[in-house]
Amino acid sequence: MSHTFKDHLAQTTPFPFGIKVSHAEGSYIYDTDGKAYLDLISGIAVSYLGHGREEIKDAIKAQTDKHLHVMVYGEFEQEAQNELAEELKQTLPKSLHSFYFVNSGTEANEAALKLAKRATGRRKLISFKGAYHGSTHGSLSVSFNEIKKNPFRPLLPDVHFIELNNFGDLNQITEKTAAVIMESIQGDAGVRIPSKEYMQALRKRCSEVGALLILDEIQSGMGRSGKMWAFEHYDMVPDLMTSGKALGAGLPIGCLAASNKLMQKFSVNPMLGHITTFGGHPLVCAAAAAGLKVLRKEKLIEKVDEKAQLIKGYLKHPKIVEVRNRGLMFAVELQDAEQVQKVVLKGLEEGLLLFWFLSTPNAFRLAPPLTISKEEIEKGMKKLLELLDE
C-alpha cells in the first residue's frame, strides 16, 4: 500500500524521525496519538519563541486580511517589509542597516557571496574548516564537509578553508580575497567558538586587504547565544551579516544585512543583480517583526545565560566527554557516535526531542526555545540523564 510520507514526499535520509505531527504548543510538539515531545531542538534553532504564540498567529492573520503576494521583491513598497526592517535596525549597528529579505538561510549566503564579488571585483573566497552555510551550490562550496560536497562538484572555484582560531592562517586572506565567510559560532562543527582576540585579528586583516567579512548568524543569531547577534561577543562588526531560521518566528526567511552603499550595488551593473520572486513575503515579514517585538518585550535574551547554566549544571555524566555551548546553543559530546545514536533515538521514544549534527557524529545538539521554562529544563535534563544511564 502506498504511504504518502514515505513514497510521495522526498526523503532526505533513509531513517527520518517520522513523528506524525498533530499540533504544537509552547515547548511541546504533539503527535496524532496525543503523545507529547519536549522540544529541545526548536526545529533546529528556529522556534525561538516556542510553538503557537498568539502574537505571531495574530500578525499572520492580520496580514492575511490585508494582502499576500503582490509583486516580486523590490518593486512595491510593503508595510510588513518596512516594519521588519525597522525592527532589525534596532538590533544592529548603522553599517548593517540595509536588508535584503530572501526565503532561506542558504539564499542569504548566496546573496552575500554575490554581493562581495560584485563589490570587490575579486573571486577568491575564504571559509573555515568545519563550516556549514547551506545546501545550494554556492553555500555548499563554502561548506567544509567533503563527503556531502563531492558528488556535486564542480562547485565554486577558488574557495580556501582556514582553521578557526589559527592566527597564522589569516595570511591566506589577501588582496585577491573577495570575502571571508564565517559562522559567528560554528553550529554543525559541534558548537565551535572563536576567541575574541581571533575575531578582532580577523576583522583587522580583512580591513587591511579590502576583503569583505561575512558573518553567518543564521543559527547563532536571534538571541540564542545570549546576545542578539553572536558577533556582539567579540566587539567587532562584520561588513555583511546573514540571518534566517529563527528570524521568521516559524515562517521561512533569510536576510542579508549590509550598508546601504554596499547593498545598492545589486541594483546597477548589472541592474537586477540579485532577484527573488517571494523574498520578503509579507506574511513572513509580519511574523518576523511580531517575533522581534516579543523578544524585546519579554527580555528573553537577558534570561538565556541563566537557562544555559541550569542545563549545563545537569550535563554531568560518565558518558559525557565534553559540553560546548554559548547560551542555548549546545553540543553534548559523548564517547562515540553509537552512544549518540542510542540517546537520540531513545529520546524520541521517550518524548524528548534531541538531534544529531550533520558532520559531528560524536555529539548531539540542544537548542531549546528561548522561552523554555525552568521546570521544563529540569524535567528534560532529568530524562536525558536517565537515557544516558541506560
Cell of 238: 562584520
For residue 107, count other CB atoms closer than 10 A to its CB: 26
Contact status: 39 vs ligand PLP (CB under 6 A): no
Cell of 128: 573555515
Residue 371 as a binder of ligand PLP (CB under 6 A): the answer is no
Stretch that binds ligand PLP, among 72-80, 84-92, 101-109, 281-289 (CB under 6 A): 101-109
Q: Which residue from 284, 251, 252 is spatially nearest to 64, judged by alpha carbons?
A: 284
Out of 26, 244, 279, 291, point to the residue binding ligand PLP (CB under 6 A).
244
Q: Is 238 in the site for ligand PLP (CB under 6 A)?
A: no
Identified binder of ligand PLP from the candidate list 105, 226, 291, 347, rule CB under 6 A? 105
Q: Is 219 in the site for ligand PLP (CB under 6 A)?
A: yes
Q: How many residues bind ligand PLP (CB under 6 A)?
A: 14
Q: How far apart are CA 109 and CA 194, in angstroms?
A: 20
Rg (CA), the chain: 21
Q: Which of 51, 114, 133, 274 binds ligand PLP (CB under 6 A)?
A: 133
Q: Tell me which stretch binds ligand PLP (CB under 6 A): 112-120, 132-140, 152-160, 330-338.
A: 132-140
Q: How far apart are CA 318 and CA 356, in angstroms?
A: 20
Q: Which three cell numbers stand for residue 133?
A: 552555510
Report DSSP state, residue 275.
-
- Which residue, 205, 212, 217, is CA-closest to 92? 217
Distance CA 37, CA 33 (A): 12
Residue 22 φ/ψ, nearest 5 degrees: -100, -60
- Which of 183, 239, 333, 376: binder of ligand PLP (CB under 6 A)? 183
**Stretch 258-297: interaction string toward ligand PLP, x if CB under 6 A:** ----------------------------------------
Query: Between 133 and 192, whose beta carbon lies closer to ligand PLP?
Result: 133
> Can you give the binding site for ligand PLP, defined by CB under 6 A?
44, 104-106, 109, 132-134, 183, 187, 216, 218-219, 244
